Amino acid sequence: MNKSGAALARYALEQLGVKHTFGIPGVHNTELYDELNASESIQPVLVGHEGAGAFMADAVSRMGESIGTMVIVPAAGVTHAASGIGEAGLDGIPMLVISGGIHTESGHKYQLHDMDQHTLLSPITKATFRIESHAEVIPTIYEAYRIATSGEPGPVFVELPYNIGNFLGEVEGMQAFSAGTANQQVDKTLLKQAAEMLANAKKPGLFVGWGALAASAELIALAEHLGAPVCTTLQGLSVFPGNHPLHTGMGFGEYAVPAATHAFSECDCLLAIGVRFAEIPTGSYSMPVPENLIHLDINPEVFSANFPAKIAVTGDSALSVPLLLQYLQAQCEPRDSTELAAVIKNWKHKYNEEWLAHNSGDRVNPALFFNALRAELDDDAVLVADDGNHTFLMAELMPIHGPRKFISPSDFNAMGYCIPGVIGAKLAKPDTQVVGVVGDGALRMTGLEMATASELNLGVPIFVFNDGELSQISQAQQIPYNRKTCTVLKPLNIQALAAATHCTFIAINNNEECASKVAQAIAAANKGETVLVDVRIDYSKRTRFTSGVVKSTLKRFSTRDKMRVISRALLRKVTG
């Protein structure tokens, strides 16, 4: 039969269960967009910028309903999307990225405008493909999907050249997708040794990340059997419920909230599942990891990279954690965690009260805001953050109640994620509350995607923490330098942005307005309105994360460098 490559690609995506694609049409992919427009099961979403489109695709994948998919133009479309692709690559998020490409006939270069986009993307993708014939289209997209979703997930790039995508070619048939069965194995002997080490520990603890998502239920049973506290990575906040009595927060050590610091103070054996021990969740590598470290992860390359592991077990958490639980139950009786749970509850309460007691003047107290927001949301609401000070405020002050209920950029630090992330999450979960919290700096990057949200009639509220600075980095500058460079922002007229993007506008100017205005925004979103909320947030009190990271970083300096930083800060404090 004769089919265009675009028709074959559409068929493959339909077979894979793709519901939305994100991108901007151009010369090299017009035929594919025409096919997607005719599809009964796929909605092509026009984005304002391919970087935002990549964040949307990332969020779709994080919701677990289908794989996030981009359909973009080559060259500039690829470079624009690279930040979102890189974020997904670092965070272990599957994604299909399908780009157009130039003709493949003799005499034409593989590069587009002298840029080899496969070489460009190879460090941030699991694989890249360039389709050479019509017969390769369907099998290549299927193989890209298998690679993207198997092992440690990640993005895969497929180039569909113009002459194949737009013109007809002979194919023998259009095969259906077969997922096949993965031959997963895990070292049971090592898991039994891990169970024995945990059973013999006096004060075991759990550190979990996004890679443990498939075993969320078993993690709860494991923690309860051990009577052990549970801390998480930033992404792991969406793995273990924040309202569970043994949940302590993000990380442990001087940079973590007091509940985690006290609960893990005598930890003599740490079970880490689905984590990389990366910079952010370890407080710039200051986490006091005990000598007895058990590390479970699907990617063996992460073992002992930053902290040496006594026992390292390679495998999917969906397989390894239930087995570990089984072996542990055979090794020891359940431990009573009543006292530990009381300690965690007490310190969480004290920390919240400490924030509420902070004088925010005529601005909005962050703890008051998050208490009001949590009170208005369903348990299964999805929270989306960006990269910035508000991210760590959310980690410290906003309990996340279930799996896949919090998403944000991680160590790739891709600002601009929130608003596109809200769009992707809501498209994937149309019947679930999806709420975004973004800083005014990140709003500048992707704020015009509010027009995309309005056009799609999603019914989502975006709360903008508006303080006129790039707060996270300005605080990091202020402490050692007593100066701020390139972090002060000219105030945005957020009401005008709301009007320009067809959004309902609400302003929260002070503490007295907070509860009623949060409720108003959630009610408007529940009625289908896209809402942009200007929150005059108070950032004068630093998070534990920010203060702790600065201290731990300073400790690592040599005596000479430490004295230079301290003396310069003191001099500038005196002289201005």
Q: How many CB atoms lie within 10 A of CB 329?
A: 15
pLDDT tens digit sequence for 511-524: 999 999 999 999 99
Phi, psi of 386 (to 5 degrees): -110, -160
Look at residue 279 and tell me whether its pLDDT is greater than 70: yes
Tell me which residue of 574, 234, 505, 266 sits closest to 395, measured CA to CA.
Answer: 234
**Average of per-residue pLDDT values in the chain:** 91
Q: What is the pLDDT of residues 392-416, one digit of tens each?
A: 999 999 999 999 999 999 888 889 9
415-444 pLDDT, tens digit per residue, is 999 999 999 999 999 999 999 999 999 999
Pairing of strands 2-4, 168-170: antiparallel
Q: Which of 61, 276, 290 is nearest to 197 (CA)?
A: 290
Integer CA distances (angstroms), 47 to 1, 53, 374, 511, in order? 34, 6, 30, 36
Q: Copy the structure tokens of residue 336.
A: 């009573």
User: Which of 98, 220, 215, 85 lies closest to 161 in space, CA to CA?
Assistant: 98
The mean pLDDT of 66-88, rounded to a whole number, is 96
What spatial distance separates the first Cα and last Cα of the chain, rounded to whole Å? 77
Residue 184's beta-bridge partner residues?
none
Residue 277 confidence (pLDDT) above 90: yes
Per-residue confidence band for 116, with pLDDT thresholds at 50, 70 and 90: confident
pLDDT of 469 higher than 80: no
8 A C-beta contact, residue 212 and residue 317: yes
| Ordered DSSP codes for 30-50 | HHHHHHHHH-SS-EEEE-S-H
**Which amino acid type is present at position 3?**
K
Non-local CB neighbours of 136 within 8 Å, separated by 6+ positions: none
Reported as a pLDDT band with limits 50, 70 and 90, residue 242 is: very high
Q: What is the pTM of this model?
A: 0.93
Q: Tell me what the mean pLDDT of segment 268-289 comes to.
A: 94
Residue 574 has pLDDT above 90, yes or no: no
CA dihedral of 477, 86, 59, 55, whole degrees rounded to 10: 70
Nearest-angstrom CA–CA distance, 7 and 13: 10
Q: What is the DSSP string of 134-148?
A: GGGHHHHHHHHHHHH
* CB atoms near residue 291 (< 10 Å): 10
Q: Give yes or no for a contact between 150 and 316, defined as CB atoms under 8 angstroms apart.
A: no
pLDDT at 561: 57
